[in-house]
Amino acid sequence: MKRFSIYDKMHNQDYIDNLSVATKHKLNLCIEMLTEQEIKSLSSIQVAYGIARERFIDEYLIRVNPDFAEKVKEGDIPIFNIEEILKKYKNNL
């Protein structure tokens, strides 16, 4: 069975329409934080999200608020808050 890349999945509207709200948020973070090549090489949104989340913490959040970054790394902050932080700080760094 062929595995479809996240890139392929992003371009399948039926697939996107059937994702949960939380998974759509994870996919959006992946799109923001990963390169096109990474998106083309990964098939699991969950795996890609783990990479994107770690990159977001290390590249942005640690510079804004190191203490808060540690809480996020520990998993105490929900995905929805991370996405809002990304919107707020990405252009300011």
Quote the pLDDT of residue 57.
87
The CB density around residue 47, as the number of other CB atoms within 10 Å, is 12
User: How confident is the model over 24-54, as pLDDT tens digits?
Assistant: 988 998 998 999 999 999 999 999 999 998 9
Question: Which distant-in-sequence residues (6+ apart) come within 8 Å of 52 by Cβ?
Answer: 26, 29, 30, 32, 33, 34
Domain layout of the chain by residue ranges:
6-92
0.85 cut: is pTM over it? no
User: Rounded CA gap, 21 and 55, in Å?
Assistant: 22
Closest CA to 39 of 13, 60, 8: 8
User: How confident is the model over 58-74, as pLDDT tens digits?
Assistant: 988 888 888 878 888 88
The span from the first CA to the last CA of the chain, in angstroms, equals 42
